[in-house]
Amino acid sequence: MDPTSLPEKQFKLYREILKRYKVSFTPLTVRDHHLEILQVDDLEPLLAGKDPFKDVESFPFWVKLWEASLALADLMVSLPPKPGQTLLELGAGLAAPGLAAAAAGYEVTLSDYEQYILNFQKVNAAASKVEARVCHVLLDWLKPPPNLPRYDTIIGAEILFRETFFAPLLAIFRQYLKPGGVIYLAHDVRRKSLPKFLIEAEKHFVVAVSKRTLRTEDKALTIIVNRLTPRP
C-alpha cells in the first residue's frame, strides 16, 4: 500500500500519525475482500511487557490486531447484510471487523474513545476503499452520546477486559440496538472476564455461544463468539 495514493484528507492524517508512531500497512484478506490495516511497527515500547490477560487496566488494547478481531471479521462477511443494514463496532481499535463488514455491504460506524485511534480507522477505511460506507464517532462508554441512532447490528472484539465497564456496556447495548437487532462479540477463550459478563448479559439478552479455531504455524487459538439478541 502506497500511502501517497490515499485521498488528501486521509494522507494528512497519516502524516500526523507518523509524528507519533512508526507505522506500516498490513494487507488483510477476509474471504473475497481485501483490506489494508495501518499498524504500529514496534509494539514493545507501547506494551512494555504488559500481559493483555493480566494487565487489563493499562494494556493499550486498540494497538493490536487481535485474533478475535480476525474471527469476527470473517463472521461478518459470512453474514451479508440487507440493503441499508447498519452496524456499530464498539472499541473498534484498528477496526478489521468493521472494515470487513463495510466491504461486505454494511453501513458501518466505527467507534473508540480517543481521536488518534479514530485517525487510524479513517486511514484504514480509505486504504481499504470502503470509506464511503464508514463513519466514525468518539464513544466513551461511561458518557455515551445521546444523539447516536440505533443500529441493526453491534459488534466488538476483545472489549470485555474490564469488569467496571460491564454495566455501562450493557446499557449501551440496550440504548443503541434496534428492536430485533443482534450483537456479536468475539474473545480469546482465555479472557476470564467473559463468563462473568455473560451472566449479567443473560438478564437482558438471549446468549448463544460458538467457537472458532484460528491456526498458525506454531499454535491454535480458540475464539469464543457470542450472539446476543434482546429478550422479549
pLDDT of residue 62: 84
How high does pLDDT run on average in the chain? 92
Instruction: Note the pLDDT tens digit of each residue in 111-129.
Output: 999 999 999 999 999 999 9
CA dihedral sign of residues 80, 98, 159, 36 = positive
Instruction: Note the pLDDT tens digit of each residue in 163-179.
Output: 889 999 999 999 999 99
| Average confidence (pLDDT) over 22-28 | 96
pLDDT of residue 22: 93
pLDDT of residue 74: 97
- Whether residue 227 is predicted with pLDDT greater than 70 in this model: the reply is yes
The string of DSSP letters for the chain reads: --GGGS-HHHHHHHHHHHTT--EEEEEEEETTEEEEEEEES--HHHHTT--TTT-TTT--GGGS--HHHHHHHHHHHTSPPPTT-EEEETT-TT-HHHHHHHHHT-EEEEEESSHHHHHHHHHHHHHTT-GGGEEEEE--TTS--TT---EEEEEEES----GGGHHHHHHHHHHHEEEEEEEEEEEETT-THHHHHHHHHTTTEEEEEEEEEEE-SS-EEEEEEEEEEE--
Q: Which domains does the chain have, with CATH numbers?
A: 3-230 (3.40.50.150)
| Average confidence (pLDDT) over 43-69 | 75
- Whether residue 49 is predicted with pLDDT greater than 90 in this model: the reply is no
| Average confidence (pLDDT) over 136-156 | 94
- Whether residue 64 is predicted with pLDDT greater than 90 in this model: the reply is no
pLDDT of residue 42: 81
- Whether residue 46 is predicted with pLDDT greater than 80 in this model: the reply is no
| Average confidence (pLDDT) over 59-78 | 90
pTM of the shown model:
0.93
